[in-house]
Amino acid sequence: MTSPGDAPPVKPPPSFSPGVPRVATKTRYPNQRRDSSSSLDPDSVEARLAPSPTPPLSSTTSEFPIRSASPHTRSLRSSTPQLGRSSLGSPLEGHVDGTEDIRSLIIRSFSPTIGVYASVDTDDLVREKGFKGGFWELIRPFGETVPGKIVIRDSVGASRGWEDYGVRFVDLGGQQRFPGDSDSDRNPLAQLEEVVDGQLNAAHELLGTTIRPKDLSNLSATSPLYKSYLRSLLSTATAAPHETFRHPVASVIAISSRNSAPLETLRQLYADTSNGDRKLPQWIHSEYLRYYVLVHDEDRDDITESTKLYDQMKRHFGLHCHLLRLRSTQCVVTDDDSAPVPHCEWLSPFEQLSSHTEPLVEIDSDSHPYLFDSDIMSIKGLVRELVAQSLIPYMENKVAVWNDQVASRRRGISGRFMSMSRKWAGFGSSSRSGIAGSGGGNYDITHGFYKPDAPEAVLRKMADFAFMLRDWKLSASTYDLLRSDYSNDKAWRYHAGAHEMCAVSTLLNPMAMPAKTKLESIDQMLETACYSYLTRCSDAPNALRCLCLAMELLKSRGGFATESAAKWAMRAMDLGLVGTIGQILISERISACYASRPPLSGVKWGGRRRKAGMWSVLAADSWLKLGKPTLASTCLEEAERLYADVLDSDGLFPMPEIQSFVDNLRHNVKVEYLGARGLNTRAGISATEPLETEETSEKLDTRQHRKSLIGNALDSGGLNAPTRDIETPENDDFERA
């Protein structure tokens, strides 16, 4: 921890070179690849569109119907026309996200958290530039993607560069210390469903009438709507005692060159975050890195005086300091050197619902804040220097120290003996007495957390640090070490989190072989985590996060792991953790999981095309019931391509009931699409095509109506009761087809 006292300068971290001038590095986004086989690149759109308090919906929800599948040489009877291939007129180019993009999204969702606490004069200077939230709002968007490559050393000393590394800035000086904390009185899953519904409606209204053919790609492509859904889900997590991903790893303490007593102000800001009114909850360790920033006003103040003050800061507070040069003049669009501020990608559902009343897509809006190019380069330089030269070395050092002083003892003979004693003899178990620390235990049952300096809390923090440093082998072994301790102490939320992250770390580790025995152990960990979250803790958001992470990471493994991925996706639906739109999106992902299972080499059997087609048909039927014929048409087209490889040469289903159901669904999609645009519903529709009757609909639509936890939460105000598994509905007709 950097002390504000009068002390000699602190030695720089290993990667810090005081003599080397700072070079502003151009931002590179690794996911921005151009693919001629597709026409949608959400990441490139997000970088070009004028940002808003939430991600532009045109970059995440436009052209939702675009799906991908491998082409085939024959088509089915009465092929569904490609109804929705619309363009908004914006530069929507690139590729449709695949497995690697989802994997990168999951990795980036667990990024280090950095608190921001600025003086009053600093916030006033930034508000003059058009940022009402002050200094935190100014630098927050630039932390989500650190410019350039970040080199990280793992526990064995091997280095690897990452170009998609990012951090999360949170406001320590405002009313909300962590984004989303004030929405605790509302169900996060209900808010998530509301956000996705708003995005879907906005995209539906923006759909044009230009029809163009769909580009074909791989079957495991991800729709922009599902990517937005998953991003919002991973953004719902707030600071909690059982995991430290949202605990500040460092804090930025900022003053401006306008301050009349700069050094005293810095000391006061430090005291506020340590022992004052800005002190974090007692389950968050107060010892974290402090990074001091001096904001220089280029338009009004003298750079010579600011440089002298900056040198004094380094002498008093060490080398974790930075001089940020900004213009206090507000930038407008008409300026030659103006550039829009990048939007924030990681916004909680509460922020997305409460932050705007203006239109969600404002490409030519002048109300959005702009910055001078010099300001943008200065802020990017600050973020890179903070992360590469201070944050990463600090985290690496902490992991090495904790691994040597705490984890090694726990892994030794004495640590194993104490663990066995606590399990079988009851020594050191606070859960028996109900009083923290009585008999040597560390878990406080009354308040439900470990003290920050307890070995169990330190090891959990070490595992989270290793995970954020992307050293998944070390994090998996540490989570595995903690599972028995949390079980003995009956710390069920800690217990569930350790099982969840142990499974996630194992799946992210590229060296872990996806053997069947390995998958069985992963399934057991996921089962334990889901049960503890729901039954023992009534924590539905974390349970849904666990199941979605399991589904996507198992799907990325390929092979027989895809069936396990589909199983966990069905579990999320059976438990009622998703709403109406969420069920449809999960159904599409189940179809993608089965479709990504290739047949055995040399033969046509071994794949899961029939199951993939079945779930795609169910998704099409659900989209049609919601009044979204364009999306229903897309799912139905994909189902036809999937069934094309397994049906007979004439493309007919063996069972007449199934054929009638698909034909009626195809006909209703056409009718709904034409009716939604005020066209003649009989134009272009053959009179010989079958119409869906009430008797046929009731006979074929045999799916059970699942009871959703979201509906219960909206009525009762929260999730307070454990849930029970609901049997997966049978679809024997589709399976036999």
Instruction: State the DSSP code for 634.
Output: H
pTM of the model: 0.78
- Chain segment 71-112, per-residue pLDDT in tens: 333 334 344 444 333 322 222 233 333 567 899 999 999 999
- Chain segment 688-698, per-residue pLDDT in tens: 344 444 444 44
Judged against a pLDDT cut of 90, whether residue 307 lies above it is answered with yes
The top-scoring range by mean pLDDT among 87-96, 191-200, 248-257, 675-684 is 248-257
- Chain segment 573-630, per-residue pLDDT in tens: 999 999 999 999 999 999 999 998 877 665 566 678 889 999 999 999 999 999 888 8
pLDDT reported for residue 680? 54
Judged against a pLDDT cut of 80, whether residue 62 lies above it is answered with no
User: Which of helix, strand or coil describes residue 544?
Assistant: helix
Judged against a pLDDT cut of 50, whether residue 674 lies above it is answered with yes
Of 630, 626, 624, nearest to 661 by C-alpha is 624
Burial class of 508 by CB neighbour count within 10 A (0 to 12, 13 to 18, 19+): buried
Percentage of residues in the chain with pLDDT exceeding 70? 66
pLDDT-based confidence at 114, cuts 50/70/90?
Answer: very high
pLDDT-based confidence at 422, cuts 50/70/90?
Answer: low
Place of tokens 């306008």: 258
Per DSSP, the chain holds a count of helices (H) and strands (E) of 27, 11
Number of CB atoms found within 10 A of residue 127's CB: 16
Q: Beta partners for 321?
A: 292
List phi, psi (to 5°) of 410.
Answer: -70, -35
pLDDT reported for residue 42? 39
* Rounded Cα–Cα distance for residues 128 and 135 (Å): 11
Distances (CA, A) of 478 to 159, 400, 510, 680: 20, 13, 17, 64
Angle (CA) 188 615 529, round 5°: 40
Amino acid at 161: G
Amino acid at 668: N
Mean pLDDT (whole number) for 714-725: 37
Higher-confidence position of 211 and 710: 710
pLDDT reported for residue 421? 52
- 606 within 8 A of 599, measured Cβ to Cβ: yes
Of 534, 546, 443, nearest to 488 by C-alpha is 443
pLDDT reported for residue 621? 94
Instruction: Kindly write down the DSSP assignment for every residue of 294-318, as one continuous string.
Output: EEEETTTS-HHHHHHHHHHHHHHH-
Mean pLDDT (whole number) for 109-125: 95
- 692-713: b or e for each residue (b if 16 or more CB lie within 10 Å)? beeebeeebeeeeeeebbbebb
Query: Out of 30-44, 200-214, 630-644, which region has the weakest mean confidence (pLDDT)?
Result: 30-44
* Rounded Cα–Cα distance for residues 489 and 442 (Å): 8
Average pLDDT for the chain: 75
Entry field: residues in the chain: 737
What is the phi-psi region of residue 339: left when phi exceeds 0, alpha when psi lies from -120 to 50, beta otherwise? Answer: beta
pLDDT reported for residue 208? 39
The top-scoring range by mean pLDDT among 3-7, 218-222, 561-565, 647-651 is 561-565
- 718 within 8 A of 565, measured Cβ to Cβ: no
Question: How far, in whole angstroms, is CA 648 from its chain's centroid?
Answer: 42
- 291 within 8 A of 250, measured Cβ to Cβ: yes
- Chain segment 535-584, per-residue pLDDT in tens: 999 999 999 999 999 999 999 988 888 999 999 999 999 999 999 999 99
Amino acid at 598: P
- 319 within 8 A of 18, measured Cβ to Cβ: yes
- 552 within 8 A of 226, measured Cβ to Cβ: no
- Chain segment 175-229, per-residue pLDDT in tens: 444 444 444 456 889 999 999 998 888 765 544 332 223 443 445 567 889 999 9
Query: Out of 418-422, 452-456, 700-704, which region has the weakest mean confidence (pLDDT)?
Result: 700-704
What is the phi-psi region of residue 106: left when phi exceeds 0, alpha when psi lies from -120 to 50, beta otherwise? Answer: alpha
pLDDT reported for residue 24? 42
Distances (CA, A) of 648 to 75, 142, 594, 643, 644: 11, 55, 20, 9, 8
pLDDT reported for residue 354? 80
pLDDT reported for residue 95? 32
Instruction: Kindly write down the DSSP assignment for every residue of 393-422, as one continuous string.
Output: HHHHHHHHHHIIIIIHHHHSHHHHHHHHII
Percentage of residues in the chain with pLDDT exceeding 90? 47
